[in-house]
Amino acid sequence: MTEIEITKGAIALIGYGLAAIGPGVGIGILAGNAVQAMARQPEAAGMVRTTMFLGIAFTEALALIGFVLFFLA
């Protein structure tokens, strides 16, 4: 491994860490609010859960793209 390859890998690792911050906060807010909604209206729990999974899937994609780019770099 040359010097520049190691540096590139390290920078890619930092990039993946930065890409994980936003989705982490987003999924936290989303799941927290979903739990609150389920606690307030337990009869709507099924609908809330489906919507929560949808939201998590959309939010998570950003972190996963960062993960793939880390391996590509």
Smallest distance from another protein to CB 34, Å: 15
What distance in Å separates the CA atoms of residue 71 and residue 46, rounded to the nearest whole number? 37
Is-contact 34 48, C-beta < 8 A? Answer: yes
Q: Check: CB of residue 53 under 8 Å from CB of residue 34.
A: no
Is 17 a binding residue for another protein by CB under 8 A? The answer is: no
Find the part of the chain contacting another protein (CB under 8 A) among 15-23, 32-40, 46-54: 46-54
Query: Binding to another protein by residue 32, rule CB under 8 A?
Result: no
Single-letter residue type at 66? G
- Interaction site with another protein (CB under 8 A): 1, 46, 50, 53-54, 56-57, 60-61, 64-65, 67-68, 71
